[in-house]
Amino acid sequence: MERDLQEDTKIVLKHLAVRFLLSIPFFAVGLLLMARVELISILGLILLVFASLLLIRPLTELLTLTSGSAIFPRKMSSRASLMFSIADTKIMLKEYDEALRQLREMIQQDPDTLEIYTRIMKLAVDKMKQPEIAKEAFHEGLQNLTVLRDRKILANTYKELML
């Protein structure tokens, strides 16, 4: 996840640099045309707006990269949200085995996502009343999670559920 964020940041910064270079002539000509208050200053204003529009997307992506965005959602997070919503629907319908199957399928696709393991553990303990499934998910998460902070969160969640 951290590697993806670093790679995404590099890509966004590269796009920002390219668009910044593209926007410089538009800013320059726009400002020159607006310096003279005439009919041509409207064209200058249009060029300034166009130059600004070139920079909006990469700047917005850069600002929202770590927190997520409703304007430019990341493909992985929207896909994961859809998969979680399917599992959540199964839980609401009390189809716990099917929800568990869905969550386990998610682990196969993305084994380094903490939320999958915590959801399995909560489902197993709170809904299914099968703590052994939570224990399996806990151990599997410890093996698969690469970030130490995620492992600590997983351990704390498991500990709280087992109290």
CA 114 to mean position of chain CA atoms: 14
Can you tell me the distance from the alpha carbon of 83 to that of 136, in angstroms, rounded to the nearest whole number?
Answer: 21
For 23, 83, 87, the CA distances from 94, given in Å and listed in that order, are: 55, 17, 10
The pTM of the full predicted model, rounded to 2 decimals, is 0.53
- pLDDT tens, residue order, the chain (163 aa): 455 667 777 887 888 888 888 888 888 887 777 776 666 677 777 888 888 888 887 777 766 655 554 444 444 444 556 667 888 889 999 999 999 999 999 999 889 999 999 999 999 999 999 999 999 999 999 999 999 999 999 999 999 999 8
Can you tell me the distance from the alpha carbon of 17 to that of 7, in angstroms, rounded to the nearest whole number?
Answer: 15
